Amino acid sequence: MKTQTINFGFWKKIREKAAGLKRPIFVLAPLANVTDAAFRQIIAKYSRMGEPDGGPDVIWTEFVSADGLCSPGREVLLRDLAYSKGEHPIVAQLFTAHPEKMREAAALCAQLGFDGVDINMGCPDRSVEKQCAGAAMIKDPKTARKIIEAAREGAGTVPVSVKTRIGYNKNEINTWIRFLLGLQLPVLTVHLRTRKEMSEVPAHWGLMPEIIRLRDEVQAAIPVNERTIIIGNGDVMNLEDARAKISTNAGLDGSLAADGVMFGRAIFGNPWLFDERRNKIGTGANISIPTISERLNACLEHTELFEKLLGDVKSFAIMKKHYKAYVSGWDGAKELRIKLMETENAAQVGAIIENVLLELDRPRERV
């Protein structure tokens, strides 16, 4: 392999920052109908993104169809790519099986000011796979290469990364992951399950050292600190759990099992997830667990922002999956959850939550 030609873009600073803090890179996963414009703003605010001990280091958008972005009806899809100033650095995730569409969509994302473009090559959704995209790319390396090349052409100086799985029906690290590492991506995020496994088995974090060793083999001609950044994904519950997973599965030489960790389901109901000040790292104890009032206020703010930004293009029912997470773990939570699940708009949610907050603030009578 020739000398280093990887286009890291903003990722170079992200790697240096994590190294300076002596911790992994922590990033937010692209979750369809979850990490939308509203929730990303809430996460950036409550996790104090960009502030000392705050995070995440990088945010991903929901995955968006490149084909759709190239169609006359793209205005609605552009709402999925809307972001606020406080969300930088932010990566737009795209999917398609058509190189020409990827080229055009990647160019659009660069024009919109995204810091990076990521290609979804791991989504197991049947509707996505029927388009020969997502996880279907694992079975078609030839097209996958064309998609990556087209994205690079369209994105220009904006770095292009990939998110995928360890294989389709079986472990294909030595073929599929090796292939991707040979393409000199700045970042490769690996969901540590096969497409067949979906999320029905524990993520195979024990395989991560093999991926790291493979990267170092394939990119042996590249200086160590300039090789592809490897981010692991799957079953990570909090920052401490992330550290434990990459330490427990560390290589024989003591190197961490991954350069970074991507958080998905753990973010539900917990926009404070990336705020290091909320946790005593290494002890398992929390300095400041969000109070019931804090959780309800964040839930209401999230709801109002969702209605403001997306209420005209997305069903209000999308918000209800968040209520299950925001409202749990205390006496009366179930009853409150039932009420919230019956709401149809932010005003109704506000009336219910404000009554609960008034009750929480009311001094208790002495017996």
Catalytic residue IDs: 123
Residue from 43, 37, 64, 94 nearest 311 by CA: 37
Give the orientation angle of helix 292-310 with respect to helix 346-361, to 10 degrees. Answer: 160
Beta-strand ranges (E) seen in the chain are 25-28, 58-65, 90-95, 116-121, 160-167, 187-194, 229-233, 260-263
Q: Give the integer Cα–Cα distance in Å for 288 and 16.
A: 29
Cα 231 off chain centre by? 11
Within 8 A by CB and 6+ apart from 95, the residues are 63, 64, 65, 66, 119, 120, 121, 123, 128, 131, 133, 134
Per-residue burial over 130-154, b if 16 or more Cβ lie within 10 Å, else e, is eeebbbbbbbeeebbbbbbebbbeb
* Cα distance between residue 45 and residue 40, in whole Å: 9
